[in-house]
Copies of this chain bind each other. A is one copy, B any other.
Amino acid sequence: MPRKLSAVDPLRLDNQICFAVYSAAHAFNRVYKPLLDRLGLTYPQYLVMLVLWERDDVPVKDIGEKLFLDSGTLTPLLKRLEAAHLVKRTRSSEDERQVLIALTPQGHALKEKARSVPQSILAASDCSVPELVAMKDEIVALRDRLNAVIGE
């Protein structure tokens, strides 16, 4: 009995890892949404806050490198975080080209409210921590290989 061609058709949606990643990212976003609504953050804003909770007073460029985002995305996003009184934007005095992003007291305080988020995500994943760590490492390795190709 001949194998169905569709099972190996490279143009089939179900065979594409990229669509798996794309749709998983959207699924994560939908799980995060109600959790982050309580913090008044969108998911990309939450990522920026994660960066700042690790290290404060960083240039826009550093945030961009960690999150793989450029100023076209970050500038308006950071302005919204500033409008929400979570960060302050100031030109660096050493290098006037740089804009340094610092947390406000409210920005610092929000970290406490965010502590419950990861475990909610873990529960929704319905997966053991070692399994998730293994998957994460594989996906990061794939991402880094893809990014290496982009730099040519």
Listed in ascending order, the chain A residues whose CB lies under 8 Å from chain B are 10-13, 15-28, 30-32, 43, 47, 50-51, 53-54, 66-68, 111, 114-115, 117-119, 121-122, 124-127, 132-133, 135-136, 138-140, 142-143, 145-147, 149-150
Copies of this protein in the assembly total 2
A143 touches B18 (CB 8 A): no
B127 touches A142 (CB 8 A): yes
Interface centre among A27, A47, A121 (most CB of B within 10 A): A27
Q: Which of B23, B122, B146 contacts A143 (CB 8 A)?
A: B23
Please report the C-alpha to C-alpha distance between residue A13 and residue B48 in the assembled complex, in whole angstroms: 9
Please report the C-alpha to C-alpha distance between residue A12 and residue B115 in the assembled complex, in whole angstroms: 11
A139 and B142 contact, Cβ closer than 8 Å, known pairs A11-B50, A11-B114: no
Please report the C-alpha to C-alpha distance between residue A111 and residue B9 in the assembled complex, in whole angstroms: 13
Chain B residues contacting A30 (CB-CB under 8 Å) are 146-147, 150
Pairs A–B under 8 Å by Cβ, sample size 21: A11-B53, A11-B114, A13-B47, A17-B125, A17-B133, A17-B136, A18-B121, A20-B136, A20-B140, A20-B143, A23-B68, A24-B140, A24-B146, A27-B146, A27-B147, A28-B146, A30-B146, A124-B146, A124-B149, A127-B142, A135-B142
A17 touches B139 (CB 8 A): yes
Chain B residues contacting A24 (CB-CB under 8 Å) are 21, 25, 139-140, 142-143, 146
Q: Which of B25, B114, B140 contacts A25 (CB 8 A)?
A: B25
